Amino acid sequence: MATIVQFENVGLRYGTGPETLSDVSFSLGAGSFYFLTGASGAGKTSLLKLLYLAQRPTRGMIRLFGEDAVTLPRARLPGFRRRIGVVFQDFRLVPHLSAADNVALPLRVSGVPESDVEAPVREMLAWVGLSDRAHARPATLSGGEQQRIAIARAVIGRPEMLVADEPTGNVDPAMAERLLHLFDSLNRLGTTVVVATHDLQLINRIAGAHMMRIEQGRLSDPTGSLRFPPRDA
Ligand SMILES: Nc1ncnc2c1ncn2[C@@H]1O[C@H](COP(=O)(O)OP(=O)(O)OP(=O)(O)O)[C@@H](O)[C@H]1O
């Protein structure tokens, strides 16, 4: 299986504080499904930020899509980021755009012709159960509805990798199940999926998903399968 992400001895420090992440090493196989768990403050969001290139590590090596992501020239960041769908913990919807226009953003940014935008937006809104809120501004949506719009926006461009930070934190169990099914469908189409969650129930729902656990900034690898190359290689 091809490796889509590789971390070797990665460390992250914010300012002059202690290291938030230390000696993080793992690799992600293209097309696999990963859960990242850990207590609040353990470093899940920080690890995801490194993955979607919002943050550079203070030490270590990160390869993404086969290239060195640490020394990637700034000008190439947008091109890389377009290959990654992100569901932010705080949604980050654009407040002056409607729900439909928020969902359409990745397609428009990628230069998809306007005639090819409407149908997938409609399909995604239906998938997340919000067809009737297409014209609503984010401020008029509930937290769970905003989260579903953020998920629709993250997956509409069929990204090579989907990174989601607590994507079911604001929805009821039935909707969480449905959203997970959406991620699963995307994964079956070949997208590598990384979901940070506290919800251990979710983890059992995806057959064959890998689990990474982070404790005080260090990754524990319960399956022993995430390290690349293996420690004893
Ligand atoms: N921008 C920042 N500047 C300084 N410290 C930060 C910053 N972002 C996160 N931290 C610190 O890094 C540590 C890990 O935070 P992080 O958000 O990665 O944890 P988390 O596991 O995602 O937590 P939660 O589950 O509560 O979202 C925390 O101690 C946090 O205070």
Per-residue model confidence as pLDDT tens digits over 134-189: 999 999 999 899 999 999 999 999 999 999 999 988 888 888 888 898 899 889 98
Q: Count how many domains the chain has.
A: 1
Q: CATH number of the domain that 82 lies in?
A: 3.40.50.300
Report the pLDDT value the prediction gives residue 178, as an integer from 0 to 100. 84
| CA quadruple 43, 157, 5, 10: dihedral sign | negative
Confidence of residue 230 (pLDDT cuts 50, 70, 90): very low
Calculate mean pLDDT across residues 85-95.
94
The yes-or-no verdict on residue 101 having pLDDT over 70 is yes
The single-letter DSSP state of residue 100 is H
Residue 141 belongs to some domain of the structure: no
Q: Answer for the pair 35, 24: CB distance below 8 angstroms, yes or no.
A: no
Residue 228 belongs to some domain of the structure: no
What is the Cα 232 distance to its own chain's centre? 30
pTM: 0.91
Report the pLDDT value the prediction gives residue 222, as an integer from 0 to 100. 56
What is the residue with the minimal CA distance to atom 7 of ligand 1?
14
Neighbours of 47 (CB within 10 A): 27
Neighbours of 70 (CB within 10 A): 16
Residue 98 belongs to some domain of the structure: no
Report the pLDDT value the prediction gives residue 232, as an integer from 0 to 100. 43
Cβ neighbors of 168 (< 8 A, separation 6 or more) are 147, 175, 176, 179, 180, 197, 199, 202
Q: What is the mean pLDDT of the chain?
A: 90
Q: Is the CB of 45 under 6 A from ligand 1?
A: yes
The yes-or-no verdict on residue 94 having pLDDT over 70 is yes
Q: Which domain holds residue 53?
A: 3-92+160-220
- pLDDT digits 0-9 by tens, 200-224: 778 878 888 888 999 999 988 655 5
Calculate mean pLDDT across residues 28-51.
94
ipTM above 0.85, yes or no: yes
Q: Is the CB of 40 under 6 A from ligand 1?
A: yes
- What does the alpha-carbon distance between residue 121 and residue 155 come to, in Å, rounded to a whole number? 11
Going by their DSSP bridges, the two strands 33-37 and 210-215 should be labelled as parallel
Calculate mean pLDDT across residues 118-131.
95
Give whole-number Cα distances, 47 to 5, 51, 181, in Å.
12, 6, 24
Q: Is the CB of 14 under 6 A from ligand 1?
A: yes
Which of 16, 20, 22, 199 maximizes ligand 1 atoms within 8 Å of its Cβ, making it the mutation to test the pocket? Answer: 20
Residue 114 belongs to some domain of the structure: no
Give me the numbers of helices (H) and strands (E) for the chain, helices first please: 7, 10
